Chains A and B, each alone.
Chain A
Amino acid sequence: MSSARRARDGARPPIRLLRNLSSKLAAIPMVLVGLGVFVGGTIWTIVHSFTDSRLLPRLNWVGFDQYERLWSTRRWLVSIENLAVYGIVSLVLTMCLGFFLAALLDRKIRFEDTFRTIFLYPFALSFIVTGLVWQWILNPDFGIQSVIRGLGFSGFNFDPLYNPDLVIIGLLIAGLWQGTGLIMVIMLAGLRGIDEDIWKATRVDGIPIWKTYIVVIIPMMKPVFVTALVLVTSGIVKLYDLVVAMTSGGPGISSEVPAKFVYDTLFTRQNLGQGFAASTMMLVTVAIILIPWAYMQYREKRQ
C-alpha cells in the first residue's frame, strides 16, 4: 500500500541499506526466525534424514535407507493408520458438530452467550488436562462403564482405553470435546456474515430451514469451511499431548501417533536419522494438504 511511500517521505540517506534503518533493525528477529529457524531448521532436518545419524547428528549419507526402514517399522505403520483414522473421523465430526452447534446458536436463541461459553471453554484447556479428565471418566472400574453396570446392565462393556480396537474412540471423545468449540465459533462468525435478506427470500419461497442450510447457506460459506478444514487438519497432525496424557500410546502400541513416534525416536531411543525421516514424512503430509489450499487461495485472489 502507501506505506512504502510513507517511509520514503523522509530524507533519503545516501546508502540504500541505511535507508529506513530502524525498521530494518527491528525486523532482525523476524529474519532470524524465518530464515534461521523455519527455513534453516527444516532444511537441516530434511538433509539429516538422509544420513545414518544415531546418538549425534552426522553427515554420513545413506540415501533413502532411513525411509525404507521407517516404512517397514510396525510402530510407524500403526501410527500412520491411527492418524488417518483419527484424522478423518475427527475432521468429519468436528465440522458437522461445529456447524450444527453454530446453526443452533444462530437461531436467535436466548442465553446465546451462556451456551457459547459452555461449548467453547474446553478449548481453553490443555490437551493434558483434557486427556486426564477423560481418562478418569472412561476408567472401567469407576467411570461410565461401572456406573451403567451399577444401574443393572451388568453386561455393559465400554472401556476404550484398555481395548486396542476401541482406543481411537476414546481419543476421539476427548479430542472432539476439546476442539469443536473452536470450529463452532468460526462457523458462527461465518453464519453471522450471511445477509439477512437471503433468509427472508428463502422464507418467502417457503423453503424449509434445514434445506436452506444445505442448499443455500453451506455453499455460501465455502471459504469458512476451507479455513476450518485447514485449521482442524493442522491440529490433527500435531496430535501428541492428548495421546501422552490419555494412553501413552497403549494398550501396547495401539494408539501411537506420528508426532509421538518422532519424539520417542529422537529423545528416548536416540535414533536421530530415523526420527528425522519420520518428521520429514509429517512435513510431506502437511504439504500435501496445504498446497492445494494455498493454490485455491491464490486463484481466488487473482479472480
Chain B
Amino acid sequence: MTAVTPRGAKPQKALSPRNIMLYGALVIFSLYYLLPLYVMIVTSLKDMAEIRVGNIFSAPVEITFQPWVKAWSQACTGINCDGLSRGFWNSVRILIPSLIISVSVAALTGYVLACWRFKGSEVFFGILLLGAFIPYQVLLYPLVIILRELGLFGSLWGLVLVHTVFAMPINVLLFRNYFVALPEELFKAARVDGAGFWGIFFRIVIPMSLPIFVVSGIIQVTGIWNDFLFGVVYTRPENYPMTVQLNNIVNSVQGVKEYNVNMAATLLTGLVPLVVYFFSGKLFIRGIAAGAVKG
C-alpha cells in the first residue's frame, strides 16, 4: 500500500486576483459581443414613440410585436410593400437548390481527387484552389456573360450556378481531405466485390462521411444565406434574396425611418444562420477550422 499523495495543480481559490482579472476581461468582451444582439431585440419590441424618447439600451416598457409583423408582411422596398417575407422565400428558393447542387458537386469532385486520381487531376485541383483567392470582382462580369450565354442571367438558377462555382474550392478541399483519410482496405474489398466508381461512392463513401456532409452543409447554408453581392448582381429585383431586400428596406431614403421595424427585419434575416450556429455548435467550429486551412 502506498500513501495517497495529492496530484495535479494546486487548487486555487475562486476569488484570486488572477481569476477576477480573467473572468472580468471575459465578461467585458462578452458585453461588446452581446450588445448588438441585445439592442436588436429590445429595439424590435418597442414602439416608435418609446424609441424617440427612450434610451437605446433600455428594456421595452411595453412589449409590442407589431414591428415584427410589419417587417415580415408590410415593410416597403420602393413600390413593393409586401414586407421581408418575399425576400425570405426567395432566399429559401435560392438556398435549397444551391445547397444540394453545390454540396453534391463538391463531394463528387472530392471523391475523384481522393480515390480516382488521373493524370492531370492534381493540376486541376491546384487551379481550383487558386480560385479561392481571386477577388470576386474580377469574375463578376465574366460570369454575367457566361450566364447570359446559358440563358440563365437574372433567374434563380443562374444564382444557384454562381453559388456552386464559388463554393467549389473550399468544399472540394474539405471532402477530398476527409475521403483521403478513409481506410484504403475498404476500397480494395469493394473492388474485389465488383463495385465500381459509383458503387463505391454511393454505398461506401457517402454512408461513412455524414459528418463532413454536415460541416459542408453548414458552411454552405450560412454562406448562401448571408450572400449579398451575388444576389445584387445576378438576380432581378423580384428574385432578390433576403439580405438585399433587408438592405433596401433599412437604407431606403423615402418615408419616416421606423427603427423598430428595421431591427425586427435585421433580426429576422439573421435568424436562419443564428439558428444553424446555435444548433450545430462544435460542427460549426469544425467547419470554420476546415475553412481556415484552405490554400
Contact = CB atoms under 8 A, between A and B. Distances in A.
A124 B273 contact: yes
Interface in A163-207: 177, 181-182, 185-186, 189
Interface string B24-52: 01100110111111011001000000011
A294 to B, nearest CB: 8
B69 interface: no
B165 A33 contact: yes
A286 B250 CA distance: 33
Q: How large is the interface on A (under 10, 10 to 19, 20 to 34, 35 or more residues)?
A: 35 or more
> Which of A19, A37, A107, A118: most chain B Cβ within 10 A?
A37
B168 A42 contact: no
Contacts of A142: 51-52, 56, 259
B35 A137 contact: yes
Contacts of A129: 226, 243, 246, 266, 269-270
A128 B137 contact: no
Interface stretch (A67-75, A154-162, A214-222, A239-247): A239-247
Provide the main secondary structure of the chain B interface. Answer: helix
Contacts of B109: 26-27, 29-30
A238 B233 CA distance: 15
B166 to A, nearest CB: 9
Contacts of B278: 117, 121
Interface string A124-158: 11111110111111010011101100100000000
Interface residues of B, number: 94
Interface in B258-275: 259, 262-263, 266, 269-270, 273-274
B229 A240 contact: yes
A3 B143 CA distance: 35
A245 B251 contact: yes
> Which of A31, A130, A133, A150: most chain B Cβ within 10 A?
A133
Nearest to B31: A118
Given A104-B26, A125-B270, A244 B228 contact: yes
Contact of A40 (B52, B136, B142, B274): B142
